[in-house]
Chain A
Amino acid sequence: MRKLFPIFSLIIVASIVLAACGTPVAGTPVTVEVTRIVTAEAPASGGETPSGEAQPTAAPPPAPVAGGERLQAVLDRGNLICGAHGSFQGFGFLDTNGNWSGFDVDFCRAWAAALFNDADAVEIVSVSAQDRFTALQAGQFDVLSRNSTWSFTRDAELGLTFGPVTFYDGQAIMARKDIVADASAGLDALEGAGVCVQSGTTTELNLADQFRAAGVNYEPVVFEDQNAAFQAYEEGRCDAITSDRSQLATQGQAVLSNFDDHVILDLVMSKEPLAPAVVQGDEKWADVIHWVVYGMIEAEEHGITSANVDDFLTSEDPVIRRLLGVEGELGSKLGVSNDFIYRAIKLVGNYGEVYERNLAQYGLARGQNDLWTNGGLMYAPPFR
């Protein structure tokens, strides 16, 4: 034992070093330089610039809106880290072969495609509903794409910036057919019912509001994991389960043994606009996230798909030429390649394609999520 002690300690040191080099540490290339830039800007963005008498005559230009260090860090790292759901079929799901799929995940892939011309240059991190915002604030991923509702508190108090809404949803409640007569029933049919819900969601809050307003007694059964909530509902622990309508439809078909025994009430309990989120204070990064999504919506409006996008490169329409980066310098103004939208469309698809690929199989009609030209709410600001 005595002889081994030096060897032992040597090995420990060696393995620490090995473990450190062996695993690619996220964002190693971020150097001191970045730190310097940040410290220079921190007072400006924090609004702590001393005002008044001390201003020198040659006043410094107004502080740039924000750093863009996240964009640089991501570009240096060479891949995007994206927070997503782990077991939500249709939105973010790990399948039998260990592959990620889903609506939210496709947006992660689209951002990666726009940035790196490689839809696979993305690392998906599965995160629970409860931990997602803390994890985002702490910088564990660059962007959160995990069916998260955009709400005032989250935007203002949690220090987040939400992107364009990728999915307009609303809270609904599902119950067994032997309890509610049909979809037109009201909450009073659920007097005394147990309701399964996931913790850390807006639905958990709306549930309390809605039942209180209706004066109906109920027993909340709160789970940290959505699948556990569905499982408990399936087993009969609760009479009803509440979540976003899309989730009830997709997960309901995926994890309930007989979906026809259940009915989703027509009652709309809330507005749930689901949007990607980034940390507040880095407008440049937020812009990249926003405009890729807008580009995918805009592409659908012009009928540009992953299959025919190459044909559009020769289009005469200046709007399309600008969108695809054939003309103008839109991308470089964001700090990315000019053909960033082209890449996202080519490698992942337009908004409609992403929707069809992931959600059509669950019978979710486009509805509010159709283009504005078709009576929906999907509307992209002009690319010019």
Chain B
Amino acid sequence: MQLPAFFRNVRVLQVLAQIVFVLLLALAAGFLYANVTTNLARQGLTVGYDFITNPASFDIGESYISYQASDSYGRALLVGLVNTLAVSALGIILTTIVGVIAGIARLSSNWLISRLAASYVGVIRNTPLIIQLMFWYFGIILQLPRVKEAIALPGSVYLTQRGLYLPWYEPMPTFESWRVFIWIALVSLAVIWFIFRWIQNRSELPLPLWSYPAYILVPILILWIGFNVQPEPPFIANFPELVGLNFRGGLRFTPEFAALLFGLVVYTGAFIAEIVRAGIQAVSRGQVEAARSLGLTSTQSLRLIIFPQALRVIIPPMTSQYLNLAKNSSLAIAIGYPDLFSIAGTVINQTGATLEVIAIMMLSYLSMSLFTSLLMNMYNNRMRLVER
């Protein structure tokens, strides 16, 4: 017996298969949805986002946006998200530095340095992050001296088990008018970039290394001028000092933040070191030799020949490491840093809105990941080898 020709057509079969697949998926989704609604209804639980505006009535240890216990649950979740973003952003910058240094150190001709870097990578990559975090927090940071016996570093910097205290600024009334100069300084960065590119295009030669500090010096000069034209200084220094049980004033990094940041940077740095090492080794020896024979110095050949090529190999795996760092910040719950996952857990416990809060949390992480991938893909496209 043979099927009619219609059903032996590959096109038709493919369409049919897809329809069946979609139907099965829809069936599964419908089944799960029905189960959830029955189960919830049976316990008299309702699904909805009304709770978001209710007062949270719990305090959060640290936040970068203003928050009080009387603020809403929505605000509390936002605090968690900002905390996650803060530690991730700082972590990504620092881990890149640590990773690149360790990766280059592994290729060092100095035996001791390359061995040290190799053992750092070997030990850190092979142990779970959560144990490392607990070790840093309980084993190292909480063992620092108590507040009363703080380690005083030069420049009013204090290191205690309650955190690291740094001098910081305190805005004065004239801060508002000074803010204009901050904008001017930012614009100047773009201007410098355009000028440099213009020069570069005309001379077709790379800019000398000493021209790069312009990026730092010009904005500082603008800010300094702005500072002096104000009738009174726009901000004054604010030094931490011991008042009662704790230090007051200045900028403070809490031990939880410090341990989490340190743990994430050290952990991800080990992975990045391997990526950097592989990337540099991927640049063929001929390239280096060719650069040398053109008369480039070793710094020049590293900067102009090796690094741009290595970067192409490095960027894609580096992106996934950055994402890992952001996702791994959810382990903060083990050491008491109020990140998104930890605050979401508290909100679930207080409101019972399990599904809703989990949806918010998952979507936040997902959009963070997608956004980072998008940015890195754009960068990757720009750096890509243009093939002729």
The CA-CA distance from A207 to B69 in the complex, in Å, is 10
The residue that B338 contacts in the complex, of A157, A191, A194, A222, with Cβ under 8 A, is: A222
* A153 within 8 Å of B (CB atoms): yes
The residue that B245 contacts in the complex, of A46, A158, A235, A239, with Cβ under 8 A, is: A239
A-B pairs, 8 with minimum CB distance = A200-B349, A235-B142, A208-B69, A158-B352, A159-B43, A130-B345, A208-B59, A220-B59
The CA-CA distance from A193 to B59 in the complex, in Å, is 14
Given pairs A42-B42, A199-B346, 14 additional interface contacts (CB within 8 A):
A38-B42, A132-B349, A134-B352, A137-B45, A157-B351, A159-B44, A179-B245, A190-B245, A191-B244, A223-B336, A224-B342, A225-B334, A228-B335, A232-B138
In the complex, per-residue mask of A217-229: 1 if CB is within 8 Å of any chain B CB, else 0: 0011111110011
Residues in A with CB closer than 8 Å to B351 are 157
Given contacts A42-B38, A235-B143, contact A228 B334 (CB under 8 A): yes
22 A-B pairs with C-beta separation under 8 A: A133-B349, A134-B354, A159-B45, A191-B245, A192-B245, A192-B248, A193-B245, A194-B246, A204-B58, A205-B58, A208-B59, A208-B69, A212-B69, A221-B256, A222-B61, A222-B338, A222-B342, A224-B334, A224-B342, A228-B334, A229-B336, A236-B161
Residues in B with CB closer than 8 Å to A237 are 142, 161-162, 255
* B104 within 8 Å of A (CB atoms): no
* B350 within 8 Å of A (CB atoms): yes
* A231 within 8 Å of B (CB atoms): yes
The binding surface of chain A is classed by DSSP as mixed
Residues in A with CB closer than 8 Å to B199 are none
B348 touches A134 (CB 8 A): yes
Q: What class of interface size applies to chain B in its complex with A?
A: 35 or more
Residue ID in chain B nearest A238 by CB atoms: B162
* B157 within 8 Å of A (CB atoms): no
Q: How far is the CB of A28 from chain B (nearest CB, A)?
A: 18
Given contacts A131-B345, A208-B69, contact A281 B57 (CB under 8 A): no
* B13 within 8 Å of A (CB atoms): no
Total interface residues in chain A, CB < 8 Å = 48
Residue ID in chain A nearest B351 by CB atoms: A157
B345 touches A219 (CB 8 A): no
Q: How far is the CB of B219 from chain A (nearest CB, A)?
A: 35
A-B CB contacts (within 8 Å), total count:
121
Residues in A with CB closer than 8 Å to B59 are 204, 207-208, 211, 220
The CA-CA distance from A135 to B41 in the complex, in Å, is 17
A280 touches B245 (CB 8 A): no
The CA-CA distance from A130 to B357 in the complex, in Å, is 13
A46 touches B352 (CB 8 A): no
In the complex, per-residue mask of B89-114: 1 if CB is within 8 Å of any chain A CB, else 0: 00000000000000000000000000
The CA-CA distance from A205 to B60 in the complex, in Å, is 11
Residues in B with CB closer than 8 Å to A134 are 348-349, 352, 354
The CA-CA distance from A129 to B345 in the complex, in Å, is 10
In the complex, per-residue mask of B341-367: 1 if CB is within 8 Å of any chain A CB, else 0: 010011011111010000000000000
The CA-CA distance from A204 to B146 in the complex, in Å, is 25
- Tell me which residues from 147 to 182 in chain A have a Cβ below 8 Å from any Cβ of chain B: 153, 157-159, 179
* B205 within 8 Å of A (CB atoms): no
B352 touches A199 (CB 8 A): no
A281 touches B44 (CB 8 A): yes
* A209 within 8 Å of B (CB atoms): yes
A130 touches B348 (CB 8 A): yes
A204 touches B346 (CB 8 A): yes
* B333 within 8 Å of A (CB atoms): yes
Residues in A with CB closer than 8 Å to B349 are 129-134, 199-200
The residue that B352 contacts in the complex, of A137, A212, A232, with Cβ under 8 A, is: A137
- Tell me which residues from 151 to 190 in chain B have a Cβ below 8 Å from any Cβ of chain A: 161-162
* B243 within 8 Å of A (CB atoms): yes
The CA-CA distance from A208 to B346 in the complex, in Å, is 14
B61 touches A221 (CB 8 A): yes
The CA-CA distance from A220 to B343 in the complex, in Å, is 13
Residue ID in chain B nearest A38 by CB atoms: B42
B146 touches A236 (CB 8 A): yes
Residues in B with CB closer than 8 Å to A129 are 349
Residues in A with CB closer than 8 Å to B354 are 134, 137
A46 touches B42 (CB 8 A): yes
* A279 within 8 Å of B (CB atoms): yes
Given contacts A130-B348, A192-B243, A199-B349, contact A220 B256 (CB under 8 A): no
The CA-CA distance from A235 to B349 in the complex, in Å, is 28
Residues in B with CB closer than 8 Å to A192 are 243-246, 248
The CA-CA distance from A354 to B70 in the complex, in Å, is 41
Residues in A with CB closer than 8 Å to B70 are 212
A199 touches B44 (CB 8 A): no
Given contacts A46-B41, A159-B45, A192-B243, contact A232 B336 (CB under 8 A): yes
* A45 within 8 Å of B (CB atoms): yes
Indicate the member of B41, B44, B161, B336 with the most A CB atoms within 10 Å: B336
Residue ID in chain B nearest A129 by CB atoms: B349
Q: How far is the CB of B278 from chain A (nearest CB, A)?
A: 28
Residues in B with CB closer than 8 Å to A209 are 57, 69
Given contacts A159-B352, A208-B57, A228-B336, contact A280 B142 (CB under 8 A): no
The CA-CA distance from A45 to B44 in the complex, in Å, is 9
B246 touches A200 (CB 8 A): no
B142 touches A236 (CB 8 A): yes
B42 touches A281 (CB 8 A): yes
Q: How far is the CB of A266 from chain B (nearest CB, A)?
A: 20
Given contacts A236-B161, A237-B142, A279-B43, contact A220 B350 (CB under 8 A): no
Residues in B with CB closer than 8 Å to A231 are 138
The CA-CA distance from A179 to B246 in the complex, in Å, is 12
Residue ID in chain A nearest B252 by CB atoms: A219
B336 touches A222 (CB 8 A): yes
The CA-CA distance from A2 to B335 in the complex, in Å, is 49
Q: How far is the CB of B209 from chain A (nearest CB, A)?
A: 46
A200 touches B345 (CB 8 A): yes
Residues in A with CB closer than 8 Å to B44 are 46, 159, 280-281
In the complex, per-residue mask of B66-100: 1 if CB is within 8 Å of any chain A CB, else 0: 00011000000000000000000000000000000
Residues in A with CB closer than 8 Å to B345 are 130-131, 199-200, 224
Q: How far is the CB of B161 from chain A (nearest CB, A)?
A: 6
B142 touches A219 (CB 8 A): no
Q: How far is the CB of A185 from chain B (nearest CB, A)?
A: 13
